[in-house]
Structure 1
């Protein structure tokens, strides 16, 4: 699954009404992935982890606990590609998700649930990018201070 297919899947499965905890989206995504081959589940997991990893930066998560930061990043992904890309361009757009505790923890478990349904086994692999909070070390390094001239 490439990036475009990932985002199309998210858009196709987003509920039309309120989904405050992301459970509706997660259920729809799991249902969709369980109708396809295992490699779609793996591809979805890779794209999800990359999207979350790209948001794992100091300007988004400074001051948030690890769990709050992870679940809030998931909520940004759950909001769809257009909003996700706006947040990447403007970190101030992330703050309302964190301030309002808009979380989408259930999105994180979609690959596990779909994989288990398709194979009868537990998911036992890592993705190329870790989505755990603060794992993007480049995103958390402090920029060098400006020299005093």
Structure 2
């Protein structure tokens, strides 16, 4: 797309710039951390399970905003590596998933690596603060969710 056509698509240079920055963030979501135990998909699965609530495959797919077949493949890989276990609940047709002790340990290890990286980024964040960034991102995501719920109607 040529720079002249940006004006035909985006209502302002700010909107174009925001999309560009959001795409930069998205490219980093699968970043590898030196010393990490987990691959990115296992970390994301364990992130959802970190609240202590077991989930079905459908719950995980919804939480990750991925196709169930993709999540099934990722969960099976995490199970094979010993990070997640699948179990049955009497009276429920869908099996549930939860972290194993090994998965919990790996998640905490990798979580510390990610937290250390964020601390370094926040120390270099200028102008701005982590609190302001959190408030703006939360407000953006809330507004986006409200709009996409409206689109579904």
Q: Give the TM interval when normalised to the shorter protein.
A: under 0.3
Q: Which has the higher contact order (CA 8 A, sep 6+)?
A: 1
Query: Whose radius of gyration is greater, 1 or 2?
Result: 2
- Greater strand proportion: 2
